[in-house]
């Protein structure tokens, strides 16, 4: 018996989270074990973070090897892993330049600051407006909750930064009506994650690109959740064929080790000159070494190609569950970012399914009150997909009764 208990969480933690009743202690691949040795299949993937599952040998190797060499330097020095990772990311994407930080919110904070400063330097202080979309999520700093399209996350934290507006997602006419020559940037998730796993339409993203070009505004893609292989492409923009000026990435970038990055062009990068922005841990050698191993493993032949096949297996399994229980209005998503929206009969009940799944030995996620979300390891074995879906079916049967 461990002397650490779930009850202690409520004693010592700020109550902003309400974690499940178990405490996981070990993971391997797509399986997790709790303090009592109970095994769970992991369809949550740490919310699209554990893209290579738990304790992947290549990541453990990268972490321990670098861990014996050099952990940290202030930004008055650079280091080999950071340069190598930046080189790799720029080789694999549209970007020429990289800024490293520690999380998705920080990557977006950097992107939004870059957009404002770029507009300021090139067009003057009047051009400072940022347009975002309703239901979007961009992080929890004050700037990013203000830009995010979910009012509940900024309630009580006002006054929030100004110059920010929100329009409906996938609605090009609404964006066209809102954008002007005062717009510094549009920020969107190519697939809204937290907002309910809603993929952007290709014509919509193409339209945003054209609007930004017309008004000299930057197009920022927040790929914190959709990036690093999730959709079967390294970044979702590559699937859509629409190139942003700035892309933010985090979550799976470190496979479980904290790291975030903002990718951009030479032209935009110029606007963040010496001393304009920074981060103590940004480009930390441990984080960058692990991230390099993540990118190497995901770009090995066949790995990303298999994502779509696994996604089809998932969808077929979810559709089969739906044929029996009729609880889903729609199963949607891209690659292994999967959302199953509940029918109106089950409105607001997503959490009940999550709880029942945990009782059956399966970890899943929700995206709002009506959507079950799955973001498993991108290399989850087919046998674990099948076993997890069998557990989900049992959980659904219990909730439906
Ligand atoms: C998770 C998420 C963020 C915030 O990332 P943190 O690492 O929690 O700061 C930002 N944008 C999107 C799209 C996300 O899914």
State the residue for tokens 């606007």. 271
222 labelled catalytic: yes
CA distance 136 to 168: 10
Task: Quote the pLDDT of residue 48.
Answer: 97
Q: Is the CB of 138 under 6 A from ligand 1?
A: yes
Q: What contacts 30, CB < 8 A, 6 or more positions away?
A: 41, 42, 43, 53, 54, 376, 377, 380, 381, 384, 388
Nearest CA to ligand 1 atom 10: 138
pLDDT higher than threshold 80 for residue 1: no
CA angle 12, 137, 25 (to 5 degrees): 40
97 DSSP assignment: E
Average pLDDT for 176-197:
98
Distance 108 CA to ligand 1 centre (A): 8
The pair of three-digit structure tokens given for residue 329, joined into one six-digit string: 């209005």
Residue 223: CB within 6 Å of ligand 1? Answer: no
Ligand 1 site, residue 190, Cβ cutoff 6 A: no
Burial label, 53 (beta-carbon count in 10 A; 0-12, 13-18, 19+): buried
pLDDT at 361 over 90: yes
Beta strand ranges found along 223-354 (DSSP E): 246-249, 260-264, 328-334, 337-342
Model confidence at 74, in pLDDT bands (50, 70, 90)?
A: confident
Q: What is the C-alpha separation between 278 and 322, in angstroms, rounded?
A: 49
Alpha-carbon gap, residue 262 to 284, rounded angstroms:
15
Which domains, and CATH codes, for the chain?
6-56+302-400 (3.90.1150.10), 58-298 (3.40.640.10)
Average pLDDT, stretch 104-127? 98
Q: If pLDDT is split at 50, 70 and 90, which confidence band does 235 have?
A: very high
Percent of the chain with pLDDT over 70: 100
Q: Is the CB of residue 227 below 6 angstroms from any atom belonging to ligand 1?
A: no
- Give the pTM: 0.98
Residue 13, number of CB atoms within 10 A of its CB: 10
Q: Is 263 helix (H, G, I), strand (E, B) or coil?
A: strand
């Amino acid at each position: 018996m461990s002397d650490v208990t779930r009850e202690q969480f409520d004693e010592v933690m700020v109550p902003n989270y309400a974690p499940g009743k178990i405490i996981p202690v070990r993971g391997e691949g797509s399986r997790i074990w709790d303090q009592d040795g109970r095994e769970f299949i992991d369809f949550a993937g740490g919310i699209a973070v554990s893209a290579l599952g738990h304790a992947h040998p290549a990541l453990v190797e990268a972490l321990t090897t670098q861990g014996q060499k050099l952990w940290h330097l202030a930004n008055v020095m650079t280091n080999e892993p950071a340069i190598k990772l930046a080189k790799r990311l720029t080789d694999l994407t549209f970007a020429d330049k990289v800024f490293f930080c520690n999380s998705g919110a920080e990557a977006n904070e950097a992107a939004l600051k870059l957009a404002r400063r770029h507009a300021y330097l090139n067009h003057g202080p009047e051009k400072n407006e940022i347009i975002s979309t309703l239901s979007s999520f961009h992080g929890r700093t004050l700037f990013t909750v203000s830009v995010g399209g979910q009012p509940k996350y900024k309630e009580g934290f006002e006054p929030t930064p100004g110059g920010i507006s929100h329009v409906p997602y996938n609605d090009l006419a609404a964006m066209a009506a809102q954008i002007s020559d005062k717009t510094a940037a549009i920020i969107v998730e190519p697939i809204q994650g937290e907002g309910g796993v809603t993929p952007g339409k290709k014509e919509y993203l193409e339209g945003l690109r054209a609007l930004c070009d017309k008004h000299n505004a930057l197009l920022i893609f927040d790929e914190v959740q959709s990036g690093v292989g999730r959709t079967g492409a390294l970044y979702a923009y590559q699937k859509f064929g629409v190139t942003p000026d700035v892309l933010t990435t985090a979550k799976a970038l470190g496979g479980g080790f904290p790291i975030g990055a903002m990718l951009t062009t030479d032209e935009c990068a110029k606007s963040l000159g010496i001393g304009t922005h920074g981060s103590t841990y940004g480009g930390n050698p441990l984080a960058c070494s692990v991230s390099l191993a993540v990118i190497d493993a995901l770009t090995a032949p066949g790995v990303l190609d298999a994502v779509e096949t696994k996604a089809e297996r998932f969808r077929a399994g979810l559709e089969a569950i739906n044929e029996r229980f009729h609880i889903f209005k729609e199963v949607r998503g891209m690659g292994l970012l999967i959302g199953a929206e509940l029918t109106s009969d089950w409105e607001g009940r997503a959490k009940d399914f999550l709880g029942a799944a945990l009782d059956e030995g399966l970890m899943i996620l929700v995206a709002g009150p009506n959507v079950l979300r799955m973001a498993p390891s991108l290399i989850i074995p087919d046998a674990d997909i099948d076993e997890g879906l069998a557990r989900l079916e049992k959980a659904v049967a219990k909730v439906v009764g």
